[in-house]
Amino acid sequence: MANLAPGTVIGRYALFDALASGGMATVHVGRLMGPVGFARTVAIKRLHPQFSRDPEFVAMFLDEARMCARIRHPNVVPTVDVVADDGELFLVMEYIQGESLSHLVKGLQARGERMPWRVALAIVAGALHGLHAAHESKDERGVALGLVHRDVSPQNILVGTDGMARVLDFGIAKAAGRTQTTREGAVKGKLGYMAPEQMAAEGVTRQADLYAAGVVLWELVAGRRLFDGDTETVVLAKVLTAPVDPPSKYAPDIPKELDDVVMKGIQRKVSARYANAREFALALEKLGPAALGEVAEWHGPDVADGDVDGRRAVAERAPAAALADRDGHLDGGARPARPLRG
């Protein structure tokens, strides 16, 4: 199914236009088509077809679903279902009205603005609370999973129009004791946010997520990238050895206490960082982050991508009809429509 027409049904879900695409999957807006007229908008992550034939990638995708399903926290995007259809895999997640933090940052950069530091505190503190829930997650026997996100970045933090930050995409997460693991020696994630010990392919713990969150916070407050370069080699060298200025050098309006919290979060020495994500979050909350309502007001409906809103509206207009057969066709057959992008 290289191209899917909007309205194509997989299992109990109708698939519509793409919202975003990453290295392993594309996220679509979708619609749960339940009985007696019940319907619900969802986000559906579709594994890229070229990967669905790779058993290792399929196992990684299923690992994400199993682990994410165990995390129950307001600051984590919930996993709803997994669907296998016609040789492809789909991960169904709750649809959150909002924007990725990276999208919001790009908008600020285009306007030559910096995010208000209290808003930045609220967003990162929320993400840290979500990460802590993931780090503390347990299996059905009560045994800690040892879950680590390993790819905390602005692209994987969603800021809802309700003002709440949510962590998403545990696609390259690594849990101790899971059946499948990422390829040995493969360095994954976005280099500018990767902890030094992660780059060195050492044992990666939850501390790598705290470090990455600290880098995100530094960049939001300072209004610029912390580690940037034209090549991966340059970025790698900066992460490992370049001196780091406090964010107040670029944002003189922030309190000194914020400098101290940020700099502790991005210490290269693991033992010098916060003990866990909750401790980091509480340190930020002592500095007076914006309330959810303030973040929502700052976010504003004008910040939202109107095209995304339009795609959601198309999904919500879909008929909530019962499925006609096991092959996944709506009563009356599929509607003719343009292929999905990507």
Percent helix / strand / coil, the chain, rounded to 5? 40, 20, 40
Same domain, yes or no: 277 and 160: yes
pLDDT tens per residue across span 225-235: 999 888 888 99
Distance of CA 43 to the CA centre of its chain: 12
Q: Are 137 and 145 in contact (CB under 8 A)?
A: yes
Same domain, yes or no: 32 and 160: no
Same domain, yes or no: 36 and 132: no
Q: Respond yes or no: is residue 209 known to be catalytic.
A: no
- Which regions of the chain are under pLDDT 70? 1-3, 64, 171-189, 301-342
Radius of gyration of the chain (CA): 21
Give the number of other Cβ atoms within 10 Å of residue 329's Cβ: 13
Q: Which of 173, 143, 208, 207 is nearest to 66 (CA)?
A: 173
> Is 177 within the bounds of a domain?
yes
pLDDT at 173: 53
State both tokens at 198.
Answer: 């992660």
Distance (Å) of CA 294 to CA 74, 161, 164, 262: 18, 11, 10, 22
Same domain, yes or no: 106 and 248: yes
CA distance 76 to 130: 5
Helix/strand/coil for 299: helix
Same domain, yes or no: 81 and 109: no
pLDDT at 309: 52
pLDDT at 206: 94
pLDDT at 4: 72
Q: Are 146 and 177 in contact (CB under 8 A)?
A: yes
Helix/strand/coil for 86: coil
Kindly give the interhelix angle for 292-303 and 101-111, rounded to the nearest 10 degrees.
Answer: 70
> Is 341 within the bounds of a domain?
no
Q: Counting beta carbons within 10 angstroms of the beta carbon of residue 38, is it exposed (0 to 12), middle (13 to 18) or buried (19 or more)?
A: exposed
State both tokens at 220.
Answer: 């939001």
Q: Read off the CATH number of the domain in which 88 is found.
A: 3.30.200.20
Which amino acid does the sequence have at 73?
H
> Is 234 within the bounds of a domain?
yes
Same domain, yes or no: 35 and 115: no
> Is 322 within the bounds of a domain?
no
> pTM here?
0.82
pLDDT at 269: 95
φ, ψ dihedrals at 217, nearest 5°: -65, -45
**Residue 293: which domain range?**
98-299
pLDDT tens per residue across span 250-272: 999 999 999 999 999 999 999 99
Active-site residue (options: 63, 151, 209, 259): 151
State both tokens at 258.
Answer: 């914020």
